[in-house]
C-alpha cells in the first residue's frame, strides 16, 4: 500500500456502495481500529463484506440500507450514521452502473436511469455530505470519475457523459470546500478489471481494484485533489483531446 506523510482523517469509514470491489478494498485498508459502515441495497445480505471488514481489523462493522436513487433519503442516512456511530472520517462514494449503451440509445428511460445513478445521485449525496462535513469541520470524501468522462466516446457516451458531469461537479465542489477543513479527492481511473467490467476486453493501461485502492489511500494521506490510476494514464488523458473526431468516433469502449 502506498504511504503518504499523514493518516486519513479520524472517524467512521462510510462506504456508499457496500458491494463495490474498489470501495471494499479502500475500506479494508482504512478499517484497522475504526468503525466501518457499509451502505447498500439489501443491507441484510452484506454478511461476506461485513466479515471481510472484521478480518481487516475494524473495531466495529455496521450495515445500513442505502438506495442511491432515493434522493430524499440521503441526508437522513448521513445524519443517522453520524448520530449512531460518530463523526465521519472518510466517506467513499463507490456506487454506480455501467448500463447498456445499445439499449440506452433506443430506450430513453434506461439512458436517464444510468445518468440518474452515475451523476444525479452522486450530486445529491455529495451536496448533503459537504454540508454535513462543513459543519463538522473536517472529514474526507472520495469520488470516482473515469477515463470515459475525459472525452466521451460513441461507444459509451451515456455512461461517459455522466462521468464527465460528475468530474466537473467535483472539481467545482473542491473549490467550494477550500479552507473548510474538508478534503474531497477525485479519482480518475482507466479501465478497471473487475466484476463491473466482466466480459469486456481490458483496455491499455488497465488496473485492478487493489491498484486503485492503493492509489486512493495514498492520495488520502497526502490530501491530494486528484489521483490518476495508473499515474501514466495522465499522458493518455492529454493525448485524447488531440485525436480527430473522424477517428475518435470509431474508438472502442
Round to whole Å and give the CA distance between 85 and 188.
30
Round to whole Å and give the CA distance between 96 and 134.
25
| CB 76 within 8 Å of CB 68 | no
- The cell numbers describing 86, all together, are 460518530
Find all residues with CB under 8 Å of 7, minimum gap 6, and list them.
221
Q: Could you tell me which of 105, 116, 163, 145 has the C-alpha nearest to residue 227? A: 145
**In the beta sheet, which residues pair with residue 188?**
228
Q: Which residues are catalytic?
A: 159
- The cell numbers describing 71, all together, are 434522493
- The cell numbers describing 58, all together, are 475494524
Q: DSSP character for 91?
A: E
Round to whole Å and give the CA distance between 31 and 24.
10
Q: Could you tell me which of 51, 50, 55 has the C-alpha nearest to residue 39? A: 50
Round to whole Å and give the CA distance between 28 and 54.
9
Q: Quick one: how far is CA 149 from the chain centroid?
A: 14
Amino acid at each position: 500500500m502506498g504511504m503518504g506523510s499523514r493518516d486519513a482523517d479520524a472517524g467512521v469509514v462510510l462506504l456508499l456502495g457496500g458491494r463495490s470491489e474498489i470501495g471494499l478494498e479502500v475500506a479494508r485498508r482504512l478499517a484497522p481500529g475504526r468503525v466501518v459502515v457499509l451502505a447498500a441495497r439489501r443491507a441484510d445480505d452484506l454478511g461476506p463484506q461485513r466479515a471481510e471488514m472484521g478480518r481487516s481489523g475494524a473495531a466495529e462493522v455496521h450495515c445500513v440500507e442505502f438506495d442511491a436513487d432515493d434522493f430524499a433519503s440521503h441526508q437522513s442516512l448521513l445524519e443517522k450514521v453520524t448520530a449512531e456511530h460518530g463523526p465521519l472520517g472518510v466517506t467513499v462514494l463507490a456506487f454506480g452502473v455501467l448500463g447498456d449503451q445499445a439499449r440506452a440509445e433506443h430506450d430513453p428511460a434506461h439512458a436517464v436511469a444510468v445518468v440518474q445513478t452515475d451523476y444525479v445521485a452522486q450530486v445529491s449525496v455529495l451536496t448533503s455530505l459537504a454540508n454535513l462535513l462543513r459543519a463538522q469541520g473536517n472529514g474526507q470524501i472520495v469520488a470516482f470519475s473515469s477515463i470515459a468522462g475525459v472525452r466521451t466516446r460513441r461507444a459509451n457516451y451515456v455512461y461517459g457523459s455522466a462521468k464527465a458531469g460528475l468530474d466537473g461537479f467535483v472539481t467545482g465542489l473542491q473549490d467550494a470546500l477550500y479552507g473548510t477543513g474538508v478534503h474531497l479527492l477525485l479519482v480518475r481511473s482507466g479501465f478497471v478489471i473487475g466484476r463491473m467490467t466482466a466480459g469486456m476486453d481490458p483496455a491499455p493501461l488497465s488496473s485492478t481494484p487493489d491498484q486503485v485502492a492503493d492509489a486512493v489511500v495514498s492520495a488520502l494521506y497526502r490530501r491530494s485533489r486528484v489521483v490518476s490510476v495508473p499515474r501514466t494514464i495522465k499522458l493518455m488523458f492529454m493525448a485524447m483531446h488531440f485525436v480527430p473526431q473522424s477517428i475518435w468516433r470509431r474508438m472502442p469502449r
